[in-house]
Every structure is written in C-alpha cells, then in structure tokens.
A = this chain, B = another copy of it.
Amino acid sequence: MDLSIIGYDPAGAWMKIAETPEELLGYRNPSGVTWINVDSLTNRADIIKLAETFGIHPLTVEDILDTAQRPKAEEFDDYIYITFKAVNRKLTSEDGFHVFEQISLVLMESTVITFQEMPGDSFDGIRKRILNNAGRIRKMGADYLAYAIMDAVVDDYILALDSLGSGIEDFEDRAIDERDGSFVQDLQKIKQNILRVRRVVWPLRESISGILRMESKLISSEMEPFYKDVYDAVIRAVETVETYRELIAGVMEIRLSTVSNRMNSVMKVLTIISTIFIPLTFIVGVYGMNFKFMPELDMRYAYPVTWAVMIIIVIGMLLAFKRRRWL
C-alpha cells in the first residue's frame, strides 16, 4: 500500500512514506495537522485496518471501496466523510479525454485522510505549499486542508472544461469546412465528455452546501467564506457546461445549415445543366429524324437558324435563372 503522511504546524512540516497502517500511528502529529493519503484502493485489507485504527464506520469503509459512489458529504460522530470524483492527471481515455477517479476524504479533528482510486492526483501544489510554507495553509487547521483539496479538484474541473471548450472552437470551423468525415460523431464525443464533467460536478454542489449547513465543530466558522468560494467555483463550472452545450447546439445548427446549403448548390447545378441541355437535345433530335418529307432538312439556312434558335433558348434560360437568383 502506498501511504504518504504529511504533518505540519505553523512551525514546521515533514512528509513520510509508510508501508503499513501500523507505521502511521507513530508518525501522527499531536500538535498540528496530519494528512494521510492512500494512493490506490487495491489493498482492501490494509484500508479496512487503517479505517479501524481511525474509528471510521464500516459503512464509510464500504463507500470508500465502492468507486461507483455519487459525490456526497455525510456527517458522522467524529468525522465528516466527503467523496467526489477528481480529474486524474496521469491517465487519459482512449480517445484523449479526461479520466475521473474517486476520492474519499475523511475530515477529523486535526487529521485528514484521503483515499484515491488510483495514483495520479492533483495535490502536489498543496504538498508544496505545506512543505515550503507558502500561503496561509500552515497556519490553518485540518478544515482548511480539506478545503484546499476540494479547491484543487474543482480547479481541475475548470481546466478540463477549458480544454474541452477550446476543442469546441475548432468545431466551429470544421462545421463549415469539413466535407464528409466524422464531424457529428466527434462533436457527440465532446458533448458526452462535457456531460460527464457535469455529472461529477453537479452533485458536488449539494455536498458543499450540505457541509455549510452541517454546523459541525470540525469546521470552524471562519472557514465559511472559503467553502463558499469552492461552491461558487462549482456553480461556475456548471454554468460553463451549460454554455458549452449551447455552443455545441449552435455548432450543430451551423453544420446542418452548411450541409443543406451544399446540397442545395449541388441540386442547382444539376438543374441548371439539365434544364439548359435537355430541350436542346430534343431539338437536335428532331432534325435527326429520318422522315422522307421534312422540308426543313433541305432548306439552305436551316442549320445556322437551328443554332441561332438554340443560342436564344440558352440565353433566355440563363436570364430566367438570373432572375430567380440561381446564378
């Protein structure tokens, strides 16, 4: 099992790597904040042992191990259990989109335990701020650490949305330029990924407003503006998703209109060529008939007159097309 432990207080900070849950107990930081991070859920036995050591309820342990959880926040006697999905920084899906992993956070008095579904988190920034004493984090409690983790996760949502959003912009050009190809399928893939982000972001809204309503002694009242900040960021992410959906709907409309315009222009060419030449072909057919008694055939100027008539017909048709604005 990959266990990392970080301890800190305003005076200092250290980081250790433990192999077994037992090792942890020796490392706990009595005066300051302890942050234990578990990097994968594969070693179930050790996770259960770790949870027991810290008095975590068996139901919470089940939730930690079941990665199909919806984001939620639950208050227990000694801790608050928060679970959400985070963008994994190491993996991408086959078609190049973001992969989400489940993160469970247990916030106790002066201790935070995070369980990650797989390695590849986005908390290095927080670790650096703790170890280098950057910003206010060393001066704050475990409730601030929990906030900082959620804040990093929501920031990653917004980064993920930004990258999807710049993908949509490409589609605005492709909608007009691309002939056949997989335009609609590609657009649908972007859309599904945007909806996937919404599915992980949306329930987080409830969770955070749930935490704000808990009035737990684990979260000091001065944390409220910080949690409201995360809440606002979540709302912003949800609004961005809605904006993108509207953009995609707009791109789709442009696409449909482009395809239909192109079809129209194909049809117009066909119609113009056909309506000009079909009557002419009829005329030349007439004088290709082999009737014995066709007076025109013997006339001296019949041939040039036929040409003249045909040219007049063509000019007349072109004028008619012009008037109908087909040319």
A: which residues have CB within 8 A of B? Answer: 57, 59, 68-70, 72, 74, 172, 176, 179-180, 183-185, 188, 191-192, 195, 199, 225-226, 228-229, 232, 235-236, 239, 243, 246-247, 250, 252-255, 257-271, 273-275, 277-282, 284-294, 296-303, 306, 324-326
Give the distance in Å from the alpha carbon of A74 to the alpha carbon of B231 in the complex: 14
7 CB < 8 A contacts A-B: A180-B265, A191-B250, A263-B263, A266-B267, A287-B290, A288-B290, A291-B303
* CB contact between A274 and one of B183, B273, B302 (< 8 Å): that residue: B273
Residues of B within 8 A of A172 (CB): 185
Beta-carbon contact of A291 and B282 below 8 Å: no
Main secondary structure of the interface of A (DSSP, over half): helix
Contact call A264/B267, Cβ cutoff below 8 A: no
Q: Is B290 a contact of A290 with CB atoms below 8 Å?
A: yes
Q: With A278-B277, A302-B293 given, is the CB distance from A269 to B271 under 8 Å?
A: yes
Which residue of the partner chain B has the closest CB to A187? B253
Contact at A264–B263, with CB atoms within 8 Å? yes
Interchain CB contact under 8 A, A292 and B282: no
The chain B residue sitting closest to A325, CB to CB, is: B179
B188 lies within 8 A of A74 (CB): no
| Contact present for A192 and B247 (CB under 8 Å) | yes
- A260-B259, A289-B287, A291-B287 known; A59-B225 Cβ under 8 A: yes
CB distance from A88 to the nearest CB of B (A): 20
With CB as the reference atom, state the residue of chain B lying closest to A177: B325
Q: Which of A70, A274, A286 lies at the interface centre, i.e. has the most chain B CB atoms within 10 A of its CB?
A: A286
Q: Are the C-beta atoms of A59 and B226 separated by less than 8 Å?
A: yes
